[in-house]
A = this chain, B = another copy of it.
C-alpha cells in the first residue's frame, strides 16, 4: 500500500494531456460520457518532419506507459525493452514511439481512482469502459498531439485487442498493425477466470463497495488472490514444470502446514503481494470488464471479416504455441477473418513453451519476425532504413 499511495500521489508528476472537457466530452459505449479525461503517456524518439513515423504501443492488463524506461513511480523496469529501443525492432532512433496508460488505468490516466466531478474519488461510480473507449481516448491524445496518421500500432494480450480496435476506429490512419497473443473476442474461459478475480476483490471487506480510497483502506487480500489466479493463466504448464516442478522453497521436506512449502506457492504469493503495491483494485475490475465485453464481430452480425472490410492496414498477427490464455486458434480465427476481408496479412506462429507471457520475454524468432515485418512496412511507407543499433 505504501507504494500504491505513492503512485496515486506521484501520478500528478506524470506526463499527461487533457483529451476530454465539458465542451468536448469523451462519449462512451455505455451511453455515458466523461467530461474530464486525462491520458498519461510517454514518448521516445522524434516525430519526423513529415509526421509519418509515429508508433503507438498498447499495454496489457497490468502494464503501463513505461514501455522502454523504468517506471519512476514504481521503479519497475521497462516492460518491453527487447522490442522497443535504439536498434530494437521498434527502433526509437527511427520511430516516434508513444505509449499511453489506458483509460480506466491507475498510472496517471483518468480511472476509478481519479477525483470525479463531485470532488471525491470516482470508485465504482466511474462509468464502465470498453476497449473501444480506451482506443477512443488514445486517438484523442494523438489528435491533441497533432499526429494524424500512425505508422504502426502494436501490443499484446489486451493491448492486441486495442490494436485491432485502432485499425477499425482510425480507418485509413493506421499503416501497419501487430496484434500479438490476442483475440478478437474474449472467451468464456477467460471471462470465467477474470470473474473469479473480481469476486475475490469484491469479497474483500476492505473493498467497501468500491469506496475503499475514501475509507483509507485497500482490498489487498482480494486483489492478491485475483492476481495469483490470473498469473497461472499467463504461463504454460510446461514452463511451471521447468521453473518450479515440485521443488520446495527453502526447506528440505514439506512442513505439514499451510505455509508456502513449494516454490510455486512462494512465487504466486510474491506475485500477488507485489501486485497490490502497484495496482488499484478498482482499475483491475474495470479493465478486466472491458476485456470481457470485447467482441469485435458483435457489431457486424458476428462476421469478424466484416469489421475489417476495406481496410488498407497491413497486419502481422503473432501467436505462441503454449499460450492457453489467448490461444493460437484465436489468432488463426483472426487471420482467417483478415484474409477473408482481403487485408494484407502475415501470421507468425512461434513455437515456445513460455505460455502467454512469451510475448514479453526473449524469443529470438519472434523479435526477428517483428523486425522483418516492421522493416518491410517502413520501406513500403518510404521511411529511412533502421539504425545500426546501440
9 extra interchain contacts, Cβ-Cβ under 8 A, other than A196-B225, A196-B228, A198-B258?
A: A187-B240, A188-B237, A188-B240, A188-B244, A189-B237, A193-B229, A195-B265, A203-B224, A225-B225
Bound-state Cα–Cα, A31 to B272, Å: 32
Check B187 against A241 for contact (C-beta < 8 Å).
yes
- Choose from B199, B204, B237 the contact partner of A224 (Cβ within 8 Å): B199
Bound-state Cα–Cα, A268 to B190, Å: 12
Q: Within A178-224, which residues are at the interface with B (CB < 8 Å)? A: 185-189, 191-193, 195-196, 198-200, 202-205, 221-222, 224
- Choose from B222, B254, B264 the contact partner of A192 (Cβ within 8 Å): B264
Bound-state Cα–Cα, A337 to B151, Å: 56
| Chain A residues engaging chain B, CB cutoff 8 angstroms | 29-32, 124, 127-128, 185-189, 191-193, 195-196, 198-200, 202-205, 221-222, 224-225, 228-229, 232, 237, 240-241, 243-246, 254, 256-258, 260-262, 264-265, 268-269, 272, 285, 289, 292-293, 295, 324, 327
Bound-state Cα–Cα, A187 to B245, Å: 7
Check B128 against A268 for contact (C-beta < 8 Å).
no
Residues of B within 8 A of A29 (CB): 256
Bound-state Cα–Cα, A310 to B115, Å: 72
Bound-state Cα–Cα, A237 to B254, Å: 33
Residues of B within 8 A of A237 (CB): 187-189, 324, 327
Check A204 against B203 for contact (C-beta < 8 Å).
yes
Residues of B within 8 A of A295 (CB): 246
Residues of B within 8 A of A191 (CB): 246, 262, 264-265
Kindly provide the distance from the CB of A181 to the nearest chain B CB, expressed in whole angstroms: 16
Q: List 25 A-B contacts (CB under 8 A).
A: A29-B256, A128-B257, A186-B246, A187-B237, A188-B237, A189-B241, A191-B265, A192-B232, A192-B265, A193-B232, A195-B228, A195-B262, A195-B265, A195-B269, A196-B225, A199-B221, A199-B224, A199-B269, A200-B200, A200-B203, A203-B221, A203-B224, A237-B324, A237-B327, A258-B289
Check A246 against B188 for contact (C-beta < 8 Å).
yes
Residues of B within 8 A of A240 (CB): 187-189, 192
Q: How many copies does the complex hold?
A: 2
Bound-state Cα–Cα, A191 to B245, Å: 10
Bound-state Cα–Cα, A29 to B253, Å: 12
Residues of B within 8 A of A228 (CB): 192, 195-196, 199
In the complex formed, the residue of B with least CB distance to A241 is: B188
Bound-state Cα–Cα, A76 to B62, Å: 41
Whether A264 contacts B188 in the complex (CB less than 8 A), given A199-B228, A204-B203, A232-B196, comes out as: yes
Check B128 against A195 for contact (C-beta < 8 Å).
no
Kindly provide the distance from the CB of A253 to the nearest chain B CB, expressed in whole angstroms: 10
Whether A268 contacts B195 in the complex (CB less than 8 A), given A128-B256, A254-B293, comes out as: yes
Bound-state Cα–Cα, A327 to B202, Å: 33
In the complex formed, the residue of B with least CB distance to A245 is: B188
**Top 6 A-B pairs, shortest CB-CB distance:** A203-B221, A128-B256, A30-B256, A188-B240, A188-B264, A188-B244
Kindly provide the distance from the CB of A353 to the nearest chain B CB, expressed in whole angstroms: 13
Residues of B within 8 A of A265 (CB): 191-192, 195
Bound-state Cα–Cα, A244 to B190, Å: 12
A31, A222, A232, A285: residue with the most chain B Cβ atoms closer than 10 Å: A232
